[in-house]
Structure 1
Amino acid sequence: MDTPARRSRRDVSPSPELAIGVDIGGTNIRAGVVAADGTVIDTVHAPTPHSVASLELALEGAIKQLIADHAVSAVGLAVAGFLSKDKTTVQFAPHLPWRQARVGVELSQRLGVPVVLEHDANAAGWAEFRFGAAMGGENVVTLAIGTGIGAALVIDGEIYRGSFGVAPELGHLQVVPNGRSCPCGKRGCWERYCSGTGLIDSAIELLAANPRMSTPLARELRQDPESVSGRRVMVAAQEGDPLGEATIAYFARWLGVGLALVSDVYDPDLIVLGGGVGSAAPLFLDEAREHYIAMLTGAGYRPLARIRRAQMGEDAATIGAADIARTTLAAERSH
């Protein structure tokens, strides 16, 4: 287990306000001790095992390493999957082995510390709302644009989860009727056009429609399309590659269309873009904003949502999960 930048408890004053946040990804576990102001004090990283028993042992081990050096009040787990509305059960997680698993209760019993579950996109969105780009917002949509689109919605200072705890699945809004097939079973989902994988598919489609293009990116796609990543497409655009630029323009179009749809439904005052692709917002944000304004119902007669880049980076879900665990525990104790 890799434990970079570990610090002894002697170096950090113990505080009942400290909590641990754990971002459980399909590849890696990122656990951190987080102060009440959102500062990450200590971290532990480990690979993500793929069986229930080994995953829970890995989580227990990572958390115990941090507990040994820090007095913490609670632990928050950020999980990419469907949670029950009371956040006690992981119902389904596509990249993790849990199915209808009462992870929080079981892990809390093993650790002797309260454990709170949260959807990873909600945790990241909450971190932006509490400490980052969404501070001061009233109704905020946060989008994590990476391999797909993760989304969180904060309304009047509260995370919105819907009737059954799975909202908002904005990445699976249909923006292109009968469009690209999606692993979710539908066609034309927003994340099939606005994501890292969407960038690759768009570049391939644009090249097929313009077979005479002879740019560095075009040659790479002809030679070995499997080797081209969404990041490579973005770099090509930054370097002035015509195919890369056309792909980013296509991405910006559908991003703007989706943002207008989201704004028509939720009317947010603030939209925050994060994730690996979202971090490259300067490439496409101005053009996406133009499409957003053009598609927004009543544009010109209503206020526009501000659109900002996320600020919390790769620690967002860790920070948000810790803060949610801390505030959940404080609310329970006040009652």
Structure 2
Amino acid sequence: MALTRGSSRHQRGLTIGVDIGGSKVAAGVVTPAGRVLARARLETPHRSKSPKIVEDTIAELVAKLRLDYPVNAVGVGAAGFVDEQRANVLFAPHLSWRDEPLRDALRTRLGLPVVVENDANAAAWAEVCAGAGRDASDVVVVNLGTGIGGAIVVDGVLQRGRNGLAGEFGHMLVVPNGHRCECGNRGCWEQYASGNALTREARELALAESPVARGLLQAAGGEPARITGPMVTELAREGDRACTELFEDVGTWLGVGLANLAAAFDPELFIIGGGVSAAGELLLAPARTALGRHLTGRGHRPEAQVVTAALSNEAGIIGAADLARDALPRWRQGRRQARLPRPRFLARA
């Protein structure tokens, strides 16, 4: 277990944010100002699909961090559909979670109030409060990782939808009868503009033995199955033609999806986060071009800015911790009344 510590100041109002990834669980102690005082993580290769193992891992990380910091609540960012009570993970396309009562299980084990939130919502909230969107009130955040997650903030309020399922942009249909998606449908946006899409297209190019894929094959030791997203990104930065074209394709699909989101929500700002966003302008330049080309009413309306996220890998931790802090007074009131009140949208003054 890796653990790093910061200053011991700002001890009041501390909460823990937990970010569940595909191969690791990361946690941190966060101040009300969004400063991470301590970090801990555990790798969970090939095991993280088990709900029990993820629960055990979260409990272990929280116990470790509580040894040195008096925390008041825990927020968990989970990749999947989280219900309106921020209690149950209803469905996670990339995990084997189905109607998982994660909040109550962790409350029992930790003896602390727990809030479970969609991981993209948590990361977006952090960006709006303390990152790239701190000066904007109407923001759409799109996280490009294994799939695509997202979140909507309107007039400073995180919009979760009637059932808590808003922001699942990755599963918008963009190509009828297109590539199959793990969600059960075909042609979802994340099949064309995510990390998985980038890697799949790079491997297919290499398998086709295209002469432009020579650099990819050399980097992968002649084995297309070893090609990864970071490998494609590095080669593109070095000017590899095939990899640059792959980012142009993925960026174009990103821009098409952003144009659809602009038609629906009319934000002033798009924030692009997730691992794929590390490519920077290799991705964003074609995305902006495609957004401008497909925007409804183009030429007669303002065009939203498209920027990269500012908080990198800590956004999920910071956002989950802050959402847990905001929910704490309602949790205490619910304890006094022997019931939990209906959750409300969270807003920043």
Q: What TM-score results when the alignment is normalised by the length of structure 2?
A: 0.87
In the TM superposition, 1:256-267 aligns within 5 A as 256-267=255-266
Q: Deviations over 1:57-82 (max 9, x none)?
A: 33222212222211122111111122
SS in 2 for 1:215: helix
Counterpart position of 1:16: 12
Match of 1:134 in 2: 133
CA distance in 1, matches of 2:158, 2:118: 11
Q: Cα offset for 1:215?
A: 3.4
Aligned to 1:29: 25
**Code of the aligned partner of 2:36:** V
> What is residue 85 of structure 1 aligned with on the other side?
84
Distance in structure 1 (CA, Å) of the matches to 2:243 and 2:53 = 42
| Structure-1 residue corresponding to 2:55 | 56
C-alpha distance in 2 between matches for 1:287 and 1:318: 30
AA aligned to 1:64 is A
8 Å Cα contact 2:252-2:290 kept in structure 1: yes
- Please report how far the alpha carbon of residue 6 of structure 1 lies from its aligned counterpart in structure 2 after TM superposition: 4.2
Residues 106-141 of structure 1, C-alpha deviation per residue, up to 9 Å, x if partnerless? 322332221111111100010001000011212211
After superposition, the C-alpha distances for 1:31-75 in whole angstroms (9 at most, x for unaligned) are 110001111001121234554444333322221222221112211
* Residues 139, 154 of structure 1: 8 Å contact kept: yes
Find the counterpart in structure 2 of residue 275 from structure 1: 274
AA matched with 2:25: I
Aligned to 2:106: 107
Structure 1: runs of 5+ lacking an equivalent: none
Distance in 2 between residues matched to 1:26 and 1:209, nearest whole Å: 29
| Match for residue 34 of structure 2 among 38, 53, 63 | 38
> Aligned partner of 1:31: which letter?
A
Structure 2 residue aligned with 1:71: 70
CA–CA distance in 2 between the matches of 1:292 and 1:207?
A: 29
Per the alignment, do residues 208 and 100 of structure 1 end up closer, same or farther by CA in structure 2, a change over 3 Å counting? closer
CA distance in 1, matches of 2:299, 2:252: 19
Which structure 2 residues correspond to residues 301-316 of structure 1 after superposition, within 5 A?
301-316=300-315
Letter in 2 for 1:322: A
Equivalent residue number for residue 170 of structure 2: 171
Percent same amino acid at aligned positions?
41
C-alpha spacing 1:179/1:72, structure 2 compared with 1 (3 Å)? same
Structure 1 position 294, deviation (Å):
0.9
Structure 2 SS opposite 1:38: coil
Cα–Cα, structure 1 residues 69 and 251, in superposed 2: closer, same or farther, change >3 Å? same
Q: How far is 1:292 from its partner?
A: 0.7
Q: Does 1:300 align with 2:296?
A: no
Paired residue type of 2:17: G
Distance 2:164 2:254 in 1: 25
Q: Which amino acid is the alignment partner of residue 167 of structure 2?
A: P
SS at match of 1:237: helix
Distance in 1 (alpha carbons) for counterparts of 2:40 and 2:221: 41
CA separation of 1:308 and 1:214: change in aligned 2, threshold 3 A: closer
Q: Which moved more, 1:222-231 or 1:39-48?
A: 222-231
Look up the match of 2:340: none
Report what 1:253 is aligned to.
Answer: 252
In structure 2, the gaps of 5 or more residues are 335-349
Gap change, CA 1:30 and 1:307, over 3 Å in 2: same
Q: Is the 8 A contact 1:204 1:221 kept in 2?
A: no
- 1:160 paired to 2:156: no
Letter in 2 for 1:37: A
Matched pairs, number: 331
Give the CA RMSD over aligned residues: 2.4
Q: Partner letter of residue 132 of structure 1?
A: G
* In structure 1, C-alpha distance between the alignment counterparts of 2:225 and 2:213, rounded to whole Å: 18
Q: Which moved more, 1:78-87 or 1:90-99?
A: 90-99
